[in-house]
Structure 1
Amino acid sequence: MKAIVHAETLGFGGLTYREMEERQPGAGEVSVRLKTAGLNHRDLFVLNRHKPTDPPLIIGSDGAGIVEAVGEGVTGVEVGDEVMINPGLGWQKNSEAPPAGFEVVGLPFHGTFAEKIIVPAENVASKPAYLTWEEAGVLSLAALTAYRALFTRGQVKPGMKVLIPGIGSGVATFLLQFAKAAGAVVYVTSRSKEKNEKALALGADKALDSNADWTEVLEGEKMDLVIECVGAATFNKSLEQLRPGGTIVTFGSSTGDEVSINLRTFFYGQFNLLGSTMGSTEEYHDMLKFIENHQIKPIMDEVYPLSEFSKAFERLEKADQLGKIGFTIG
């Protein structure tokens, strides 16, 4: 089968579109012939985490397709089912943190940028009928990450003021849609005027220039909740916007892993700082119910044939996208 494979060299130079050997599903597994897949920032990070000494790896965490074969003991999933891949492996029930052994499809195990993938049967879910294949293929990782950060960790409630810095990413566009569906007042930021205008069209109540003085623009208005997915470039500006007793949830660090904060300001402000990552299978199915109830769809950016992966990676690396970048397969 054809696949995007990382091997031999760190970084983008290690990627090729090539043939990989197929295998049959084992006990408890299913084989899915993929129709679409989705690109995430995680796929960029994997290029430097997967070492040249490791075996060749099919990357990619998001995908959707049709079940082609089922292994021994599989129930509830049948050949011909239209499904999406839940990329989180080994985290079944909602809990304070993922259990030991939790992994994500695409590293260390083969991922979705291929014509087929084999996953545990518990890691496929029925594709909602209202979603196109392109939408279904890009949804899972970003939507699950947004759902846990906003609902499980952030405990969003109607009327809360929520700030989402960096509105261009797929997760951020889900956060905007989810928070509005939950009845929150939503503020976003971006360096791009075009992205801010699109965010307003999607329902954002206010859009700020990321380079501006947010405190000045907001005229002292404070947030109940900030969902911080940018990292070092915006973290302290985000923290400054919290009301006393407010909460900041962080799950991303694309602009740097380390920040310095004023501890005295933090504890006098009675702030809450929470980490979040992906989510459990239980939350995944809760998220699917939520998006069906509200008919929420991914914001689609560009869709490329899998063989044109270099264009997709370049667009993501430059942060040119608004929403999700997808692949068509086959």
Structure 2
Amino acid sequence: MFGSKKRAVLFKGKDYPLEIQEIKKPRLVKDQVLVRIHHAALNHRDIWITKEQAQHFPDGIVLGSDGCGVIEDVGEDADPMLVGLEVVINPSLEWGDNPMVQGDKFKILGFPDNGTFGEYLAISKKYIFEKPEHLSSEQSAAVPLSGLTAYRALFSKARMRSKEKVLITGIGGGAALWALQFATAYHGRVYVTSGSDEKIEKAKALGAIGGFNYKDPEWAIKAQKETGGGFDIIIDSAGGDQFNKLIELALPGGRIVNFGRTAGNITEVATRLLYWKQLSIHGTTMGTRDEFLSMLDFVEGRKIIPVIDKVYPMDQVHEAFARMENGDQFGKIVLKIGK
């Protein structure tokens, strides 16, 4: 009915440009469902894969961790009533039994397994969830990876309480914006950093109280003055050589959560401040099935709408990647995959 071959964005190695090719429609096994992808969203992870994976994959791997689409078929162990359901996909695969940390079999959708940058995806029924009713397909595609990451960082790791002061670094990326929207919805007093004054103003329009341009050598001093001492929670996706300023800005008993390295590895830690202020530094990646469900409930219950930067047709995947790599975006970059 739909033909046996469908288009997908293929990654073959860091020395090969991404290609759009026709591939065979996946066959279902056991509890899998076949999702016809309508929209997919980019993440920094996709950039890292294309730059750092030295191995050559002659047949190509379909990248993409975020997606929204419609279930078109089911395997023998899946409920036929699922056909026609509009769904989002949890990209946090095989987490394991320990909610504190992912297990040895953990992987993220889109590498090494085929992901959402193609017209079809076969995936276990346990990773599909009904699309939030108040969101469009392209908005829903912007939810999974960065929404889950931000939710776990803010609530499971930092254990945010209402009215706390929160600093979110590098506003503009998907997870940072989700953290901003979650924290403001939870009545946090939120501040942001960015290298762009324009992005800071946009963050204020979304509910941030203030912001600081990290290109200003005095930004941390200004932040300390403006906030009356610093922050209870700092959500960081950058790392890098400015991380020590976050330790200085953390209030006694503060929590710093990191889930990224866009500025490189952390080069210095003020050890005395770390123990004297009794700070907690947490690393986090993705999240559990329960956290994904809680995140979706939070988004639906508060009718939160993700910030979409730009929607590209799949044919313009190179332009979409270039926009993310240049750091031009404010919000999620989305690919229109199918009808």
Query: 1:43 aligns to what SS in structure 2?
Result: helix
8 Å CA contact retained: 1:28, 1:120: yes
2:212 paired with 1:208? yes
Instruction: Determine the C-alpha separation between the residues in 1 that align with 2:242 and 2:332.
Output: 22
Q: What residue number does 1:314 align with? A: 322
Q: Which digits, 9 at most, give the CA deviation of each residue in 1:279-326, with x for residues without a partner?
A: 111110110000111100110100000110011000000000001000
Instruction: Determine the C-alpha separation between the residues in 2 that align with 1:305 and 1:127.
Output: 21
1:182-221 → structure 2 map (5 Å cutoff): 182-212=186-216, 213-218=218-223, 219=225, 220-221=228-229
Q: What residue number does 1:18 align with? A: 21
Instruction: Determine the C-alpha separation between the residues in 2 that align with 1:86 and 1:188.
Output: 28
Q: What residue number does 2:308 align with? A: 300
Instruction: Determine the C-alpha separation between the residues in 1 that align with 2:65 and 2:80.
Output: 23
Cα shift at 1:10: 1.1
2:27 paired with 1:4? no
- Among 138, 143, 148, the alignment partner of 2:142 is 138
Q: Which digits, 9 at most, give the CA deviation of each residue in 1:21-74, with x for residues without a partner?
A: 222110011110000000110100111344443351110110000001111111
Relative to 1, partners in 2 of residues 1:77 and 1:258: Cα closer, same or farther, differing over 3 Å?
farther
Query: 1:42 aligns to what SS in structure 2?
Result: helix
Instruction: Determine the C-alpha separation between the residues in 2 that align with 1:44 and 1:215.
Output: 29
Q: Which moved more, 1:206-215 or 1:308-317?
A: 206-215
8 Å CA contact retained: 1:93, 1:281: no
Instruction: Determine the C-alpha separation between the residues in 2 that align with 1:242 and 1:5.
Output: 43
2:318 is matched by which residue type in structure 1?
Answer: S
Query: 1:14 aligns to what SS in structure 2?
Result: coil
Cα shift at 1:261: 1.1
2:269 paired with 1:266? no
Q: What residue number does 2:287 align with? A: 279
Q: Which moved more, 1:171-180 or 1:86-95?
A: 86-95
2:293 is matched by which residue type in structure 1?
Answer: H
1:98-177 → structure 2 map (5 Å cutoff): 98-177=102-181
Q: What residue number does 1:48 align with? A: 51
Q: What residue number does 1:252 align with? A: 260
Structure 1 stretches of at least 4 aligned residues deviating more than 6 Å after TM superposition: none
Instruction: Determine the C-alpha separation between the residues in 2 that align with 1:6 and 1:233.
Output: 32
Q: TM-score, normalised by structure 1?
A: 0.96
Instruction: Determine the C-alpha separation between the residues in 1 that align with 2:80 and 2:129.
Output: 10
Aligned-pair identity in percent equals 38
Q: What residue number does 2:3 align with? A: none
Instruction: Determine the C-alpha separation between the residues in 2 that align with 1:158 and 1:310.
Output: 41
Instruction: Determine the C-alpha separation between the residues in 2 that align with 1:80 and 1:92.
Output: 30
2:73 paired with 1:65? no
8 Å CA contact retained: 2:243, 2:266: no
Relative to 1, partners in 2 of residues 1:82 and 1:94: Cα closer, same or farther, differing over 3 Å?
farther
Relative to 1, partners in 2 of residues 1:77 and 1:224: Cα closer, same or farther, differing over 3 Å?
farther
Query: 2:143 aligns to what SS in structure 1?
Result: helix
1:20-39 → structure 2 map (5 Å cutoff): 20-39=23-42
8 Å CA contact retained: 1:50, 1:107: no
Cα shift at 1:14: 3.1
8 Å CA contact retained: 1:139, 1:298: yes
Cα shift at 1:128: 1.2
8 Å CA contact retained: 2:165, 2:190: yes
Instruction: Determine the C-alpha separation between the residues in 2 that align with 1:169 and 1:215.
Output: 21
Q: Which moved more, 1:37-46 or 1:69-78?
A: 69-78
Cα shift at 1:263: 1.5
Alignment RMSD: 1.5
2:91 paired with 1:87? yes
- Among 290, 298, 305, the alignment partner of 1:290 is 298
Name structure 1 gaps, 5 residues minimum.
none
Q: Which digits, 9 at most, give the CA deviation of each residue in 1:126-183, with x for residues without a partner?
A: 0012101110112110100000000000100001110001101011110000001111
Instruction: Determine the C-alpha separation between the residues in 2 that align with 1:271 and 1:84.
Output: 36
Query: 2:142 aligns to what SS in structure 1?
Result: helix
1:167 is matched by which residue type in structure 2?
Answer: I
Q: Which moved more, 1:86-95 or 1:125-134?
A: 86-95
Name structure 2 gaps, 5 residues minimum.
1-5
8 Å CA contact retained: 2:32, 2:122: yes
8 Å CA contact retained: 2:97, 2:103: no
